[in-house]
């Protein structure tokens, strides 16, 4: 074990003792323990799960980061890798699983679908991003992300853990006083219902009952691209356009013309040779 990583600059240790003694903060030691034994939940949703399995296999080898212990039960896992498209039917068990995970817990959204809906975003049964329901720590783009990308995401998560301090309750709310609130589990009604949005649903239903249109924010108008005026290319018009032209551009055009002429001459010569 390399003790250097723990050394706190505030309290220097004599050089000859540095390989045996380290003075450090509790947060550092604690984070070191946590970051190197993240246990992901054995939990695959879609295509990305296949790449997640490939990441765990020998070629990419997740165990280099202390993460090879995939637990099938949420109660033994620290990290939820949301690997794939989250559907409305599936979000209910996912939120339930998230609530069952003991704290401290982290969520990694793997792939385009889990991060924001991906190619299936417009689908009627697709949740456009898991972060609409549960908090996400790391997003890994890709469709699916390569195993290397997933590893990069996991290293990013480790860095995030390194930066957390036990003294700062905003960083680690789970060390606060009292139990933390579970995320409300969505309901499968006529469409998926987020209990946190009940007031908007009521509002909208009232509007509909009064015959008012739904309260959608208006989109800004689409800016129309300005059409460029094409100068006339005959007679004086063309000359005038030439006169106004930027000298650098004129120079480029002239060179291009010359190059084209040379090319044509070359081709003509070749042709003649061929015929000869």
Binding site for other proteins (CB under 8 A): 42-47, 49-51, 53-54, 57-59, 72, 84-85, 87-90, 92-93, 97, 113, 117, 119-128, 132, 143-144, 146, 187-194, 197, 200-202, 204-205, 208, 214-217, 219, 222-225
Tell me how far, at minimum, the Cβ of 86 lies from other proteins, in Å: 9
Q: How far is the CB of 113 from other proteins (least distance, A)?
A: 8
Q: In the complex, what is the shortest distance from the CB of residue 271 to other proteins, in angstroms, rounded to a whole number? A: 26
Is residue 105 a contact partner of residue 79, using CB atoms and an 8 Å limit?
Answer: yes
Cβ at position 190, least distance to other proteins in Å: 4
| Nearest one of 95, 103, 94, 53 to 75, comparing CA atoms | 103
- Residue of 80, 83, 190, 92 lying closest to 135 (CA atoms): 80
- Nearest CB to other proteins, comparing residues 53 and 166: 53
Least CB distance to other proteins at residue 125 (A): 5
Task: Give the position of tokens 């695959």.
Answer: 44
| Residues 115, 153 contacting (CB under 8 angstroms) | no
Quote the tokens at residue 122.
């417009």
Closer to other proteins at the Cβ: 13 or 193? 193
Least distance from other proteins to the Cβ atom of residue 27, Å = 33
192 has which bridge partners?
A: 188
Which residue, 129 or 157, is less far from other proteins as judged by CB?
129
Cβ 101 vs Cβ 74: under 8 Å: yes
Backbone angles phi, psi at 41, to 5 degrees: -85, 135
**Dihedral sign from CA coordinates of 154, 158, 159, 164:** positive
Q: Which is nearer to other proteins, 25 or 204 (CB)?
A: 204
Strands (E), the chain: 79-83, 106-110, 138-140, 187-188, 192-193
Nearer to other proteins, 162 or 194 (CB): 194
Give the C-alpha separation, 201 to 171, whole Å.
33
Closer residue to other proteins (CB): 31 or 55: 55
Omega cis (within 30) before 261: no
């Amino acid at each position: 074990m390399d003790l250097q990583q723990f050394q706190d600059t505030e309290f220097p240790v004599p050089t000859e003792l540095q390989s045996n003694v380290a003075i450090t903060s509790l947060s550092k030691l604690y984070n070191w323990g946590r970051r190197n034994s993240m246990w992901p939940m054995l939990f695959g949703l879609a295509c990305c799960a296949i790449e997640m399995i490939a990441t765990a296999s020998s070629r990419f080898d997740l165990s280099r980061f202390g993460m090879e212990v995939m637990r099938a039960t949420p109660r033994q896992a620290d990290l939820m890798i949301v690997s794939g498209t989250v559907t409305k039917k599936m979000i209910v068990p996912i939120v339930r699983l998230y609530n069952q995970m003991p704290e401290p817990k982290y969520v990694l959204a793997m792939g385009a679908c889990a991060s924001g809906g991906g190619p299936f975003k417009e689908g009627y049964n697709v949740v456009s991003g898991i972060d609409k329901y549960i908090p996400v720590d790391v997003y890994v783009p890709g469709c699916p992300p390569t195993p290397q990308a997933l590893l990069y995401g996991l290293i990013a998560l480790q860095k995030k853990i390194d930066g957390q301090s036990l003294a700062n309750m905003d960083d680690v709310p789970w060390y606060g006083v009292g139990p933390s609130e579970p995320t409300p589990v969505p309901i499968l009604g006529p469409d998926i219902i987020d209990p946190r949005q009940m007031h908007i649903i009521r509002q909208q239903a009232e509007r509909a009952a009064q015959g008012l249109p739904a309260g959608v924010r208006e989109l800004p108008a689409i800016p129309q691209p300005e059409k460029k005026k094409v100068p006339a290319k005959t007679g004086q018009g063309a000359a005038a356009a030439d006169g106004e032209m930027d000298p650098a551009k004129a120079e480029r055009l002239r060179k291009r013309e010359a190059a084209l002429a040379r090319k044509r001459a070359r081709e003509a010569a070749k042709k003649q040779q061929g015929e000869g």
